Structure 1
Amino acid sequence: MTYTIKDVAKKANVSIATVSRVLNNQGGYSPKTKEKVLSAIKELGYQPNALARGLINKRTETIGILIPKVSNMFAAKIVHGVENVAHQRGSSAIVCNTDSNGEKTMKYLQVLHEKRIDGVIFVSEILKKEYYEAISSMNIPIVLVSTESYRYQLPYVKVDDRRAAYTAVEYLINKGHRKIGMISGNKYDLIAGQPRIDGYKEALVSNNIPVNEKYIVSAKGFGFKDGFENLPRLLHAAPDITAVFVASDEMAIGAISAAYNMGIKIPDNLSVIGYDNLPLAEMSIPPLTTVEQPLEQMGETAANMLFTMIETGETIESRIMPHKIIERATVKALN
């Protein structure tokens, strides 16, 4: 048997309006009354109708997450953080795997619009004009994660990529390395590509080490294949390097695999430091030293910011999250 809010009110001996206020955390009732209503809900197994509640408070208790590739560990950590907060706040999340495809992204935005979602979390991509206009037309808040927009003044949650890259390279320098290569992501990527290259160069210059462009190779993306294919390119151009900073953990694992095929021992012959601190970093052989982005915490922070904006209508300040070196076994100290 399916019970209604009227049945709950009758069992708890309160008005329907009181049950509604309890369900929507609106106040105006005593703790004893709340206990009676919750007890009746539990006993009857009553499930509030989300659509009906949405008509009352003009919210669907649903948010959207737009992310380029749901299957990778980077995305999974952020999504997990967002969903943790959404669950705690009695909301749900619709995860949209865009594949960095503009047409697919626009279709998902149309679906989210039809679902009347309360807000959007936009992850790890450049916010194009058409995306921004589509979200603006919904009149809902948006928070960016692991990206930012120079054109649109929107709140974001991210690590300072330039500083984090600087930290990684200076760590290698402090270990005695002077001939340090880099495998970067797409150098035309203004969010995570060029800033990490800039941080690499600034660390060298700050430590009186000349920048040699031959020591930098740029990949198309940040995946395993990008690292696997580009380590041989780097070593061909710069055979004298003793260490390499790789702009993502997946790329770093690819580079370590390429080194194995080439008979290069890590870290005896070549030191490697990655970027992200994905679970994969602990699983590699040897375990990967890397710069940590607190990805799950970034997802949680972004979700809390979004819900605050939904509830108050106020603009929230952006957050730069802390980064740190996670030492494992892929960097060798030189005498």
Structure 2
Amino acid sequence: MKSKKITIKDVAKEAGVSVATVSRALNGLGGIGKETRDHVLEICERMAYVPSTLASGLTMRHTRTLGIVVPDITSPFHAQLMVLLTSEAQQYGYQVLFCNSFRDYETEMEYFKLLISNQVEGILFYPVGDMSSKNLYQYMRYVPIVSLNEMPDNSPIPYVCGDERKGGSLAAERLIRGGCKKILCIGIKEDRLVHRYRVEGIMDEARQWGAEIEVYESDKNYKSSFDRGYGQASELIRESLRPGGEPLPDGIIAASDATANGVIKACMEYGIAIPDQMSVIGFDDINGAVPAVELTSVSISHKLHVKRAINLLIRMKRERTLKEQERGIKLRPALVERSSCQAVRGSGIYKQ
């Protein structure tokens, strides 16, 4: 499970310089040229080297601390994860150190180095995107690492997550069974793995039903998921009000509950009744209600998500190996039915 830790001697050998030169480069000391320093630092970066003076104690000392890295601590979803992770870690006698990667790959990598330097005993993280696995897997030689979101198929990093494709399928099926004829996905960002997987599930379900579902594109940037939902829904409504404008959809699948609540706010401002004129469904079951509307959502148990992830991390630390089926654990999502979707005629199977 864990490969050999990189030492300063390994870096020196790879760079073709002495150990003293590597030390000078790392500590910003004189006596070497800029080209040599840059070359050594590039090798350190490529080999995911963590200075031994900070990392050598990892195998001998127990700090009872876990590192947590998330992309956006202002996100309601990630905020709830952090609360649950703290609580669950404490059940095992661990404290946690939180880091916010700001959805930036370089920042994500720097925080991994910082956490390892502070001798955490394991790291749980929600990846920024596709490149996270390539950037971070080398740090598994220092500590166990578990992703809280699905990793690409060829990634060596174990993960525990919701089955996002199944979640997308549930959302699409719910709106189709509720009689929606024109369905749009709002708030989708192509660079986010979880969004892509959900859209794959949505489109697979649409093909099975022969339904048409589209992703609403917008070239504008928004500071939050709520603002994105509100802004994109407002754009959509204004476009429909123009002469010859496209009719509004009767169903919207939002990328998250925060996005869905933004959509609902825009609809309320323009007098569009939910669910009579438009059904809205979100993901994560975080923000269940806004004034006058309770949101239908697709979600896994967040408590189970966190419990399984920390349990896996601790077993990796103790046992050093994993069974193949434990390298990718997907939790089955469920539909949480509330009042933001039209009723399914003749069926109560979605009621919870």
Q: Shorter-chain TM-score category?
A: 0.7 to 0.9
Following superposition, the deviation at residue 124 of structure 1 comes to 4.1
Corresponding pairs, count = 276
Map Cα deviations across residues 1-53 of structure 1 (whole Å, 9 max, x no partner). xxxxxxxxxxxxxxxxxxxxxxxxxxxxxxxxxxxxxxxxxxxxxxxxxxxxx
In structure 1, what is the equivalent of residue 312 of structure 2?
305
* TM-score (structure 2 length as normaliser): 0.72
Q: Aligned ranges for residues 105-254 of structure 1 at < 5 Å? A: 105-126=108-129, 127-133=132-138, 135-137=139-141, 139-189=142-192, 191-209=193-211, 211=212, 213=214, 216-217=216-217, 223-235=225-237, 236=239, 238-254=246-262
Which amino acid in 2 is paired with 1:320? Answer: K
2:333 corresponds to 1:323: yes
Map Cα deviations across residues 271-313 of structure 1 (whole Å, 9 max, x no partner). 11111100x2234530101111322321221111101111111
Measured on the aligned residues, the alpha-carbon RMSD in Å equals 2.4
Identity among equivalent pairs (%): 27
Following superposition, the deviation at residue 320 of structure 1 comes to 0.6
* Counterpart pick for 1:281 among 279, 288, 292: 288
Which amino acid in 1 is paired with 2:167? Answer: A
The answer (yes or no) to whether the contact 1:177–1:334 under 8 Å persists in 2 is: no
The answer (yes or no) to whether the contact 2:73–2:79 under 8 Å persists in 1 is: yes
Change (3 A) 1:284 1:98: farther
| Uncovered stretches (5+) of structure 2, i.e. residues with no partner | 1-56, 241-245, 346-352
In structure 1, what is the equivalent of residue 31 of structure 2?
none
Q: Distance in 1 between matches of 2:69 and 2:258?
A: 21
| Uncovered stretches (5+) of structure 1, i.e. residues with no partner | 1-53
Following superposition, the deviation at residue 120 of structure 1 comes to 0.7
* TM-score (structure 1 length as normaliser): 0.75
Q: Distance in 2 between matches of 1:105 and 1:58?
A: 25
Q: Distance in 2 between matches of 1:100 and 1:59?
A: 30
